[in-house]
Each structure stands twice: as structure tokens, then as C-alpha cells.
Amino acid sequence: MANIEYEGLKISGTKWLIIFPLIGTIIGGLWGGFELYKRYEDMEQTISQYKAPDLSGFDKRIEVIETLIKEQRTTITTEIGALKDLVSDAQDTARDIRTDIKGDVNDVIDQISAIDKRSRADGLEVRQTMRDAEKEIRELVTTTERRWDDKLTKVDTQIEALETKIDKKITKALTNPLAAMSKTK
């Protein structure tokens, strides 16, 4: 390798391989330091020029929203109080109605018991009367069914006779030679 000599200092080729990267690293470190310092100065300038945004519009909106919320709370509180009063009145009314209904039911039960006692005494006569009435109704239904069956049979017979009579007239009309001649004209 080549040796370089400068004012009595001899540097061999292998030493140059160590010195050049070392010099490049030192120069790169200095350049990076200067860049970092420049960025720091730019950031410091930006920070010193920063002005806080005007948030007074948001503050006004927040105040309006808080006012609306307070109004809604008072309205809701008032409505809840009114609903509680209504529920209380409804409960009182329901209790009164329940009491009235219980009284009415007890009166009706007493009346039914009295009627039941009376009917037990008259029960045998009532049962016999009901049996007689049922028997008469069954006989009436049977008689009515027979009458209708007889009438339907008569109507069916008359319809069959009429059909036979019409069939004969149609056959006679179709076999009539004069009828056949009038069709050809």
C-alpha cells in the first residue's frame, strides 16, 4: 500500500482506511448537530409566535347549552311531580273502585245464594216443567220435519212431472217436419 509522508509524519494505507471513515463520521456528526440546532431555533420561533385561538364562541355555546339543560331539568322535574300526583290519584281511585266492586260482588253473591235457596225448594217442580217443555219441543220439531219432508216430496214429484212434460214438448217440436222446413228458409 501507499505511504504518505507529511512533515515527518508517515501514514500507511491501512491507517488511511481507518482515518477516512473517522473523519466522515466527525463531519456527519457536526452537520447533524448544526441541523438539529437550526430546527430547534425554528421551533422556538414558531412557539414564540403562537397565539391561542379565540374560544369565546365555544364558551357562549356552552353557556347556552347549560341554560337549556337547566330549563329541561326544571321542566322534567315539574312533569315528574305532576305524574306522581296523577299516579297517586289513580291509585286512590283504583282502591275505591276495588272496594266498590267487592261490595257489589258480595251483594250479588248474597242474591244468588237467596235465589239458589228458593230454587232448591222449587227445583223438583222446575225440573219436571223443563222436562215436559223439552218433550213438547222435540215433538214439535219432529212434526215439523215430517211436514217439510212431505212438502219437499210433493215439490220434487211436481218438478219431475213438469220436466217430463217439457221434454215431450221439446221432442215433439224437434220431430215436427214443419219446424225443419222453416229453418231452411
Q: Is the residue at 28 inside a domain?
A: yes
DSSP state of 80: H
Structural domain contains residue 37: yes
* Residue 184 belongs to a domain: no
pLDDT in tens, the chain (185 residues): 577 776 777 777 777 778 888 999 999 999 999 999 999 999 999 999 988 888 788 888 899 999 999 999 998 888 888 888 888 888 888 888 888 888 888 888 888 788 777 766 666 677 788 888 888 888 888 888 888 888 888 888 888 888 888 888 888 877 876 655 555 55
37 is written with which cell numbers? 440546532
DSSP label of 8: T
In tens, the pLDDT along 92-107 reads 888 888 888 888 888 8
CB 33 within 8 A of CB 41: no
141 lies in some domain: no
Cα end-to-end span (Å), the chain = 145
pTM listed for this prediction: 0.33
Residue written as grid cell 291509585:
91
Residue 147 lies in a domain: no
Radius of gyration of the chain (CA): 61
Handedness of CA 20, 25, 26, 31 (dihedral sign): positive
Give the distance from CA 21 to its chain's centroid. 78
- Expressed as residue numbers, the domain containing 23 is 1-49
Q: How many domains does the chain have?
A: 1
Tell me, yes or no, whether 158 lies in a domain.
no
Q: Is residue 143 part of a domain?
A: no
Instruction: Name residues whose C-beta falls within 8 Å of residue 12's C-beta, 6 or more positions apart in sequence.
Output: 1, 3
Residue 109 counted as domain residue: no
The torsion of the CA quartet 44, 46, 52, 53, rounded to 10 degrees, works out to -160
Helix (H, G, I), strand (E, B) or coil at 3: coil
Q: Rounded to 5 degrees, what are φ and ψ at 181?
A: -70, -35
